[in-house]
Amino acid sequence: MAKKENKEVAEVTEVAEVEEVKEAKKTVKKTTKAKAQSDEEEVPAAPQEEVQPVKEEEPKPAEDSIEVSVERKLVALYTLQKVDSKIDEIRAYRGNLPLEIQDMEDEIAGLETRIANFKEESKKHQKDISDYKIKIKETEALIKKYEEQQNNVRNNREYDSLTKEIEYQTLDIQLSEKRIKEITAKDNEVAAKVADAQMRLTELNATLKEKKDELHSLVEGTEKEEELLLQRSAECEKLVEDRLLVAYKRIRKNARNGLAVVGIFDEACGGCFNRIPPQHQLDICTHKKIIVCEYCGRILVDKGIIAQYKD
């Protein structure tokens, strides 16, 4: 009986403990929920930004933008071509003078060297003539000596020997005189060449002075113009895209006359003068794309583009 009562007491105690645990859990949950609600009340919510509707721009016609863009490129290319052609003319005219001056200076240096060589040759001739004259005097002295010895000979054999020696020395004198005449003739020719070279040298020096003065005046007269043209060329290059500008410069480099952009004249290319098909002419006039000559590769423009060019 006592055991049964103890068992019931134990069960009641266990149930009570379970109930206490449940109540404690509920209390913790309520506390946590209350704290969370208080935190939400303390932190103000961020205001939402008003979303404004985006106005869509009306698309522009693609065809018009292409026409304007290509037309401007063509005008810029044609203007660039005209400016570069003027620069080429200035440099070509001015560039010939330095070459002429250089050729004259080279010719003058050659003439001066030639005259110096002629003078050295003339000195050698004079020395040779002087040597032969000295030899003639020495030979004449020997002849005189042999003639004196002939007066004191003891037999005919000695006399004949001296006579032969005198004849030999006489021939030697004649040979020396002949050499002197030959050298004198050569020296006269050299002197004539020196005179001609001196005359040519004087003319070249005078012409060289004139060319240098002309070059100096040209440089002074065209330097400012060339500088302005170079500035304008740089401005035109900015209006052309890099790919097209590279192609333009490549065509200019390969073209003999430096023309990369040419007009149409009498239905023919202004660069190679080959006839352009009617369809290509129509495409060129529409300014919708850049068209090149199928024969020479130059960029073609019509009268409308040429009319927009301004000096």
Q: What is the pLDDT of residues 191-249, one digit of tens each?
A: 999 999 999 999 999 999 988 888 887 777 677 788 888 888 888 888 888 888 898 88
How many helices (H) and strands (E) in the chain?
A: 6, 3
| The pLDDT of residue 75 | 87
Q: What share of the chain is helix, strand, coil (3-state, %, to 5)?
A: 75, 5, 20
Dist. CA 246–CA 148, nearest whole Å: 101
Share of the chain above pLDDT 90, in %: 26
267 conformational bin, left if phi > 0, alpha if psi -120 to 50, beta if neither: left
Residue type for position 294? E
**What pLDDT, in 10s, does the model give residues 172-192?**
999 999 999 999 999 999 999
Three-class DSSP category at 292: strand
The HSE-up count of residue 292 (CA atoms within 13 Å, CB side) is 12
Enter the tokens of residue 220.
């002074």
Cα dihedral 130→131→133→137 (10° resolution): 140
Residues for the chain: how many in total?
311
Three-class DSSP category at 300: strand
Residue type for position 99? L
Please check the confidence at residue 7 and state whether its pLDDT lies above 70. Answer: no
Q: How confident is the model at residue 23 (pLDDT cuts 50, 70, 90)?
A: low
Full set of structural domains in the chain with CATH: 88-239 (1.10.287.1490), 241-311 (no CATH)
Q: Tell me if 169 sits within 8 A of 146, measured CB to CB.
A: yes
Enter the tokens of residue 142.
């020997």
Q: Which residues pair with 187 in a beta bridge?
A: none
Three-class DSSP category at 58: coil
Dist. CA 251–CA 242, nearest whole Å: 14
- Placement of tokens 């590769």 in the chain: 297
| DSSP one-letter code for 275 | B
Please check the confidence at residue 91 and state whether its pLDDT lies above 70. Answer: yes
Burial class (CB in 10 A: 0-12, 13-18, 19+), 5: exposed
Residues 6+ apart with CB under 8 A from 209: none
Q: How confident is the model at residue 25 (pLDDT cuts 50, 70, 90)?
A: low
| DSSP one-letter code for 239 | T
| The pLDDT of residue 45 | 43
Residue type for position 268? A
Q: Tell me if 262 sits within 8 A of 302, measured CB to CB.
A: no
| The pLDDT of residue 199 | 93
Please check the confidence at residue 12 and state whether its pLDDT lies above 60. Answer: no
Please check the confidence at residue 133 and state whether its pLDDT lies above 80. Answer: yes
Residue type for position 79? T
Please check the confidence at residue 97 and state whether its pLDDT lies above 60. Answer: yes
Q: Tell me if 129 sits within 8 A of 138, measured CB to CB.
A: no
Q: How confident is the model at residue 27 (pLDDT cuts 50, 70, 90)?
A: low
